[in-house]
Structure 1
Amino acid sequence: MERHLSGPQLARLVGISPEARPYYRVLAETVRTLILDGRLPIRVRMPAERHLAQALGVSRTTVTTAYDRLREQGYLDSRQGSGSWTALPGPGAQGTENPWVAPDGDGLLPLHSAAPAATGLLPDAIAAATEAYPRYGLGAGYDAVGLPPLREAIAARYGARGLATRPDQILVTLGAQHAIHLLMTLLAGQGDPVVVESPTYPHGLDAARMRGARLVPVGIPDEGWDLELMSCAMRQSAARLAYVIPDFQNPTGLLMADGDRAALVGAARRYDTTLVVDESWAELAIDEVPAISPLAAFDTDSRVISIGSASKLWWGGLRIGWIRGTAALIRRLAVLRSSVDIAAPLFEQLVVTRLFERIEETKAERRRTLGASRSALVEVLRAELPEWRFTVPRGGGSLWVRLDAPVATPFADAAAAQGVRLAPGPWFGVDGTLERYLRLPFTMPPRPLADAARRLAMARALGSSLGVHGARAAPLTPTL
């Protein structure tokens, strides 16, 4: 038996304010969200355009335009003279005319992702790697610890940052997330306490949870880390492992000072805690900042393990990361990883090796591009949403925005209706906390980023009709 919706039924489902502008776009995006959320099943016959227009109190042209948009995006399947049915787009469907849409084809601007586009130096590095690639064809093509020239380049970079490092202290991984999983697998067990920052990188939490570890969150105040709280958490939980992000922390953008780094390592030494340090954003200062040493530079008894990544500096598509630890730890990790994936792809390792040769050029490029995008996002938020609170970070890739009510998740739903996918605060916390926060990355180019921010303002303006209340606050003075 065919299922169908009447005009009044769909009008109640979408619940759009008459003041929504442009109405056809809001209508199309709300219907799409209902389909993606499962609230509007697939293969349900939609009401005739004139019936829905009457129920909504708008012109038939408005509904026709919305239906046309849904057909173009693959969310309606229509046959002339027979009507329209809800559908899901095929793998090749185009969700939007904007090239910065999410890759799953849902047409939403991906403001949930803090991944920048590839560096402009990537084509040259690919060309150089292509030329070198055939020389490796006589060997097996994989090495569990990584390509020697790349390990040398990574070790040399640590040396340039003030931390003497040998190549045998480096393991090349499939990105930082892979590195975190390897370390959690090796060092954390069922029921083991693991100290984590709150908020923090969601996949770091996931990796600990997958091992059955017990998360011990420590809140990060707006002004930075509270080292007394961190120390107390290590002592009281007897945690043997802690995961921290001291460099342009994800998602807050905070940068830990040298004095706090020394204090953190000292506390870890006192309470016999190993520190897993995520440095994925360490090279991405936008403003001038004081010279900061790697956290491992304060280590005297091999309890600091560092993680790095090519994703944020060069491009996430390369899927290359690394772990810096003792040579003995690297050997243990190599044995562990060989049972799972054997080695990182040779070609990508060659590309990253070449990119290390031009790292200062890349950093300068990122300062320009991320700086421009950060300015564009801040400008729109201050103009369109002047009551939201945030501190402008001096580097990294995102703003950590505070709302004055715990509405981040429903606001993310409202934003999806405006074509923007958000990362609400609970993604970055433990046990459903941080509902007062949103992470807003500035890794997209300025134009689509400004478009996304204006859509958030529209979602906020329509908040009362979409069930979002009180998501307003006052801006903080940006840090310099």
Structure 2
Amino acid sequence: MRANSEQLLAKLGRWSSGRGPLYLLLAVRLRALIDDGELPPDTVLPPDRTFARWLAVGRGTVVAAYDLLQQEGKVVRRQGSGTRVCSADPPALRNLSADGVVSPLLLHLLAPPDGVILLTCAAPDSPPPVLIEAYQEAAARLARVRHDIGYHPAGHPELRETLASYYRARGVPTTAGEILVTNGAQQALTLLAKLLVSPGDTVLTEAPTYPGALEAFRDAAALFRAAADAEEFCAALADRPVLGYAVPTGQNPTGGVMPALTRRRLVRLAAEHGVPIVEDEVPAELFFSGEPPPPLASYGTPGRLITVGSLSKLVWGGLRVGWIRAAPPLISRLARLRAIHDLGGDVLAQLASAWLLSRVDELRRDHVGVLRRRHDHLRAELVRELPAWTAEPALGGQTIWVRLPHGDADAFAQVALRHGVAVAPGRSFDPSGGHGDHLRLPFLFSEETLTESVARLASAWRDYDGTFRPHTLRALLV
């Protein structure tokens, strides 16, 4: 089916009225039409020159827009065949770039393969008993509620006050008016991206970093500046990106922890250059050495320091409760935006979360003890079965960052899938498409599952690398 010129132009509407480069604005609008089904699969789009003439833009604008959509897996471009919308796979199942960069988290959440150990999603695989107790307490609390219609776009008042108290206990003066409750941290990141990022804006991130955040910023048509380490991240603030995104404690995927002096320097430079910093503290409570470091907000004025958190890693991913801590004016704007989407979250889940947060020290102690044992078990299995693979120990979080001795992690991930284990290749975590020789491996599963996972990975590696001989290689894990 070929796109009709008049219908396509009508569907595009005022596509060029936003901020940012024209090619990005065009790509964003075409992407929306594809995702909404307005441009069905296999629709043939206009040739570059023809489309440029219709839109009264240069041919380069159309070419750049088409190329970006091809990188995202939305269209296919072939010489002689033109440009057409990709086949009818769900959008999240398509490759995010021509190099095979995908979001394995979204891929396997939407279409979990049978009989495969999913090492792509770093989240607890069953609800803990304490969650049942929390819901029982919340249900009793709910039975006493009167004169409450249940819509709370900024979050239930009890949970907002509990979160404010949680941050005050960590050395950050906070009021309930500085808290917005969300349906998990992913919604928090999506709301922030929608409010703070316009097409063509540059977002500064670590490389590697959490792919869910990259998805949220990509959806806002952001450009990326990727920093290889904390020093580079601090230096890049001088270029004044629209915002910076960092995971300083239990970094996803490396498990690293940013030193206190670096945190102070980052906050100081962000203030000097007027750059808002979004700190993702979702894995922070999984710090291995006692209480987690204080949030970045403890090192500076709160105006441009934004903290995102949730209970998905500490308790369970099915407890869809997250939050944003920020200055009250930003919280008010976010609450208005959130009200457009869903009017507020599940009250029972929020009451249960308030009860859980009052026991956060106990939850952390029990959960982190288990994680440390599993972390050590996974690394020991890797030393035994895959001694040529390199991985530094994590200081927190739920994952380790593994470097292959050679080859391509995307290609190896396909081999591993055939051996019954799904892994997340490194390019998924790098907005610049780097780290093609890395994998993220979570260690939150049982020791038995981790042992079986490594056995399957070793079998896959033998198929991928015909020269693999365990007795000839040294253990490189440090």
- TM-score computed with the length of structure 2 as normaliser: 0.73
- For residues 231 and 119 of structure 1, what CA distance do their matches in structure 2 show? 39
What is the aligned partner in structure 2 of residue 455 from structure 1?
A: 456
What is the aligned partner in structure 2 of residue 234 from structure 1?
A: 237
Could you list the per-position Cα deviations for residues 80-129 of structure 1 after superposition, in whole angstroms to 9, with x for gaps in the alignment?
A: xxxxxxxxxxxxxxxxxxxx999835221011111013333111111111
CA 235–470 in structure 1, closer or farther in 2 if over 3 Å, else same: farther
What is the aligned partner in structure 1 of residue 211 from structure 2?
A: 202
Partner residue of 1:106 out of 114, 117, 121: 114
Deviation of 1:291 (Å): 6.3
Q: Secondary structure at the match of 2:324?
A: strand
Q: Which amino acid is the alignment partner of residue 448 of structure 1?
A: T
Q: Which amino acid is the alignment partner of residue 277 of structure 2?
A: L
* Unaligned runs of at least 5 residues, structure 1: 1-99, 221-226
Q: Which amino acid is the alignment partner of residue 143 of structure 2?
A: P
Q: How does 1:10-49 map to 2 (within 5 A)?
A: none
CA 472–340 in structure 1, closer or farther in 2 if over 3 Å, else same: farther
Q: Which amino acid is the alignment partner of residue 434 of structure 2?
A: T
- For residues 388 and 345 of structure 1, what CA distance do their matches in structure 2 show? 44
Partner residue of 1:215 out of 199, 210, 224: 224
What is the aligned partner in structure 2 of residue 280 from structure 1?
A: 282
Deviation of 1:290 (Å): 7.9
Q: Secondary structure at the match of 1:136?
A: coil
Could you list the per-position Cα deviations for residues 315-337 of structure 1 after superposition, in whole angstroms to 9, with x for gaps in the alignment?
A: 11011000000111111110011
What is the aligned partner in structure 1 of residue 139 from structure 2?
A: 130
CA 228–432 in structure 1, closer or farther in 2 if over 3 Å, else same: closer
Partner residue of 2:186 out of 177, 181, 205: 177
Deviation of 1:365 (Å): 1.3
Q: Secondary structure at the match of 1:395?
A: coil
Moved more, 131-140 or 450-459: 131-140
Q: Secondary structure at the match of 2:373?
A: helix
Could you list the per-position Cα deviations for residues 372-400 of structure 1 after superposition, in whole angstroms to 9, with x for gaps in the alignment?
A: 21122111101001111111112110010
What is the aligned partner in structure 2 of residue 415 from structure 1?
A: 416
- For residues 474 and 260 of structure 1, what CA distance do their matches in structure 2 show? 37
CA 137–427 in structure 1, closer or farther in 2 if over 3 Å, else same: farther
- For residues 435 and 350 of structure 1, what CA distance do their matches in structure 2 show? 43
What is the aligned partner in structure 1 of residue 347 from structure 2?
A: 346
Structure 1 outlier segments of 4+, above 3 Å: 100-103, 468-479
- For residues 187 and 120 of structure 2, what CA distance do their matches in structure 1 show? 20
What is the aligned partner in structure 1 of residue 264 from structure 2?
A: 262
Could you list the per-position Cα deviations for residues 311-357 of structure 1 after superposition, in whole angstroms to 9, with x for gaps in the alignment?
A: 00111101100000011111111001101111111111111111112
> Does residue 364 of the first structure (1) align with residue 365 of the second (2)?
yes
- TM-score computed with the length of structure 1 as normaliser: 0.73
> Does residue 323 of the first structure (1) align with residue 324 of the second (2)?
yes
* Unaligned runs of at least 5 residues, structure 2: 1-107
Q: Which amino acid is the alignment partner of residue 188 of structure 1?
A: V
Q: Which amino acid is the alignment partner of residue 251 of structure 1?
A: P
Deviation of 1:133 (Å): 1.8
Confirm or deny: 8 A CA contact 1:145 1:334 kept in the other structure.
yes
- For residues 384 and 213 of structure 1, what CA distance do their matches in structure 2 show? 41
Q: Which amino acid is the alignment partner of residue 117 of structure 2?
A: L
Deviation of 1:474 (Å): 8.0
What is the aligned partner in structure 1 of residue 166 from structure 2?
A: 157
Confirm or deny: 8 A CA contact 1:310 1:321 kept in the other structure.
yes
Structure 1 or 2, whichever has the larger Rg, is 1
Confirm or deny: 8 A CA contact 1:370 1:443 kept in the other structure.
yes
Could you list the per-position Cα deviations for residues 109-154 of structure 1 after superposition, in whole angstroms to 9, with x for gaps in the alignment?
A: 0111110133331111111112122233642112011111111111
- For residues 135 and 470 of structure 2, what CA distance do their matches in structure 1 show? 46
- For residues 367 and 318 of structure 2, what CA distance do their matches in structure 1 show? 17
CA 102–303 in structure 1, closer or farther in 2 if over 3 Å, else same: closer
Confirm or deny: 8 A CA contact 1:253 1:397 kept in the other structure.
yes
What is the aligned partner in structure 1 of residue 297 from structure 2?
A: 296
Could you list the per-position Cα deviations for residues 294-317 of structure 1 after superposition, in whole angstroms to 9, with x for gaps in the alignment?
A: 111112251100000110011110
Q: Which amino acid is the alignment partner of residue 440 of structure 2?
A: R
Could you list the per-position Cα deviations for residues 400-455 of structure 1 after superposition, in whole angstroms to 9, with x for gaps in the alignment?
A: 00113241011111111111011000110124321110000011111112111111
Q: Which amino acid is the alignment partner of residue 264 of structure 1?
A: L
- Number of residues of Structure 1 aligned to a counterpart in Structure 2: 370
Deviation of 1:260 (Å): 0.5
Confirm or deny: 8 A CA contact 1:258 1:293 kept in the other structure.
no
Confirm or deny: 8 A CA contact 1:389 1:475 kept in the other structure.
no
- For residues 171 and 333 of structure 1, what CA distance do their matches in structure 2 show? 8
Confirm or deny: 8 A CA contact 1:143 1:343 kept in the other structure.
yes
CA 470–450 in structure 1, closer or farther in 2 if over 3 Å, else same: closer
Confirm or deny: 8 A CA contact 1:240 1:273 kept in the other structure.
yes
Confirm or deny: 8 A CA contact 2:389 2:476 kept in the other structure.
no
- For residues 471 and 208 of structure 2, what CA distance do their matches in structure 1 show? 21
Confirm or deny: 8 A CA contact 1:254 1:393 kept in the other structure.
yes
- For residues 160 and 348 of structure 1, what CA distance do their matches in structure 2 show? 23
What is the aligned partner in structure 2 of residue 48 from structure 1?
A: none
Q: Which amino acid is the alignment partner of residue 334 of structure 1?
A: A
Q: Secondary structure at the match of 2:314?
A: coil
Q: Which amino acid is the alignment partner of residue 229 of structure 1?
A: E
- For residues 475 and 323 of structure 1, what CA distance do their matches in structure 2 show? 46
What is the aligned partner in structure 2 of residue 146 from structure 1?
A: 155
- For residues 303 and 421 of structure 1, what CA distance do their matches in structure 2 show? 38
- For residues 259 and 120 of structure 1, what CA distance do their matches in structure 2 show? 39
Q: Which amino acid is the alignment partner of residue 121 of structure 2?
A: S
What is the aligned partner in structure 2 of residue 308 from structure 1?
A: 309
CA 471–257 in structure 1, closer or farther in 2 if over 3 Å, else same: farther
- For residues 277 and 213 of structure 2, what CA distance do their matches in structure 1 show? 13
- For residues 473 and 389 of structure 1, what CA distance do their matches in structure 2 show? 16
Q: Which amino acid is the alignment partner of residue 383 of structure 1?
A: R
Confirm or deny: 8 A CA contact 1:195 1:242 kept in the other structure.
yes
What is the aligned partner in structure 2 of residue 248 from structure 1?
A: 250
Higher helix proportion: 2
Deviation of 1:228 (Å): 3.8
Q: Which amino acid is the alignment partner of residue 227 of structure 2?
A: V
Q: Which amino acid is the alignment partner of residue 378 of structure 1?
A: R
Deviation of 1:473 (Å): 12
